[in-house]
Amino acid sequence: MEEAVRAELLEALRPLCKRKTLLENVPLSSYTTLGVGGAAEIFCEVTAAEQLKEVLRIAWRLSVPVTVLGNGSNTLVRDGGVPGLTLHIGEGMAEVSQPVPLPDGRMAITAQAGASLARLANAAADASLTGLEFAGGIPGTVGGAVAMNAGAYGGEISDVLLGATCVSLSGESSHYTKDDMRFAYRTSRLNDPRAPREILVSATFALALGDGDAIRVAMREFNARRREKQPLTMPCCGSTFKRPQGGFAGTLIENCGLKGLRVGGASVSMQHAGFLINDENGNASDYLALIAKVQQTVWEKTGVMLEPEVRIIGVDP
């Protein structure tokens, strides 16, 4: 970013941001579960929906590119970092409402984009509401989960989303129904490269009344399955690749003999081949090279081109 634009942006944003929430050159490795990548040129911790709109209007006026991060659990930041303004939507904007009845007998819970899925799923369980058991162990925010249409164990966000409030990059609010969100496997209108970019402010989920004990049992069982199958103590971004038609990426990778394959500090997990992990302090270049090696080998051996599920952002050094 040009120095003059950078100075104007910082000056305009400062009155909108609480102390220590507007920073320069913030290493994004601390804001992603993979723990790699360069710095955000300007970093802003979002603390309110109205502030988010104002911040976006300013960035829009100055033609500054905007990047959005939730918990960074599905994001790979390149080593050269992210130019422009990076907005972190996390604990500062993370309210979860009390459930309210819907005309059809279900209950609605609204969560701000920065709320963790675990918090949302627990709030639903506390109220004996069923439908979000699958989400309790997914380490993302509501914003990231809606953008990605996150899912597990037969459930996904699109099954329970009732509506979403979003804001455009120019700061205009819109309310969308589930159909408007154009959900598909691990994507939505928020991640559609052909659509104008929008940011989720909050989402409302419609949940049925269920048996509180059964809901807790299901959540515990899903978490136990995760602990057993996934390398949860290693820096990673979950399944690195989308599920290919008719199979699982992990099975294909394992069948190609790639478990343990290493590039620098990144390797294919021995526990679950679908997880590429940063187990020896690697950088983004290691990780990207490992992705490419896995893709190429699987392509040569099976004719399947694996597509990354992880969102890759930023620039090379």
Ligand X SMILES: Cc1cc2nc3c(=O)[nH]c(=O)nc-3n(C[C@H](O)[C@H](O)[C@H](O)COP(=O)(O)OP(=O)(O)OC[C@H]3O[C@@H](n4cnc5c(N)ncnc54)[C@H](O)[C@@H]3O)c2cc1C
Chain contacts with ligand X (rule: CB under 6 A) = 33, 68-75, 89, 113, 138-141, 143-145, 147-148, 150-152, 190-191, 199-200, 230, 232, 236-238, 311
Query: Catalytic residue at 309?
Result: yes
DSSP 3-state of 317: coil
Q: Which is nearer to ligand X, 128 or 135 (CB)?
A: 135
DSSP conformational letter for 260: T
Compute the least distance from the CB of residue 87 to ligand X, in Å: 8
CA dihedral 165, 66, 184, 206 (to 10 degrees): -20
Compute the least distance from the CB of residue 284 to ligand X, in Å: 14
Q: Which is nearer to ligand X, 128 or 243 (CB)?
A: 243
Compute the least distance from the CB of residue 94 to ligand X, in Å: 11
Looking at 161-211, list the stretches that DSSP marks H as alpha helix, in order from N- to C-terminal side.
none
Compute the least distance from the CB of residue 39 to ligand X, in Å: 16
Q: Which of 114, 9, 12, 123 is nearest to 72 (CA)?
A: 114
Compute the least distance from the CB of residue 160 to ligand X, in Å: 14
Compute the least distance from the CB of residue 193 to ligand X, in Å: 10
Q: Which is nearer to ligand X, 69 or 96 (CB)?
A: 69
Q: Which is nearer to ligand X, 8 or 153 (CB)?
A: 153
Say if CB 180 and CB 138 are below 8 A apart.
no
Catalytic residue among 119, 186, 226, 243: 186
Looking at 149-197, list the stretches that DSSP marks H as alpha helix, in order from N- to C-terminal side.
157-160
Q: Which is nearer to ligand X, 117 or 128 (CB)?
A: 117
Instruction: For residue 128, give both structure tokens.
Output: 């004996």
Our measurement of the distance from residue 138's CA atom to the centroid of its chain's CA atoms, rounded to an integer in Å, reads 10
CA distances from 231 to 110, 114, 140, 236, 265 (A): 31, 25, 16, 8, 16
Q: Which of 20, 24, 59 is nearest to 40 (CA)?
A: 24
**Any bridge partners for residue 155, and if so which?**
152
Catalytic residue among 41, 156, 198, 309: 309
Instruction: For residue 313, give both structure tokens.
Output: 């952002």
Query: Catalytic residue at 97?
Result: no
Phi and psi for 212 in degrees, rounded to 5?
A: -55, -45
Query: Catalytic residue at 95?
Result: no
Tell me how far apart the alpha carbons of residues 185 and 72 are, in angstroms, rounded to a whole number.
19
Q: Which is nearer to ligand X, 190 or 284 (CB)?
A: 190
CA dihedral 94, 222, 30, 268 (to 10 degrees): -150
Which residues 6+ apart lie within 8 Å of 243 measured at CB? 185, 249
Say if CB 36 and CB 5 are below 8 A apart.
no
Catalytic residue among 29, 239, 269, 285: 239
Active-site residues, by number, are: 186, 239, 309
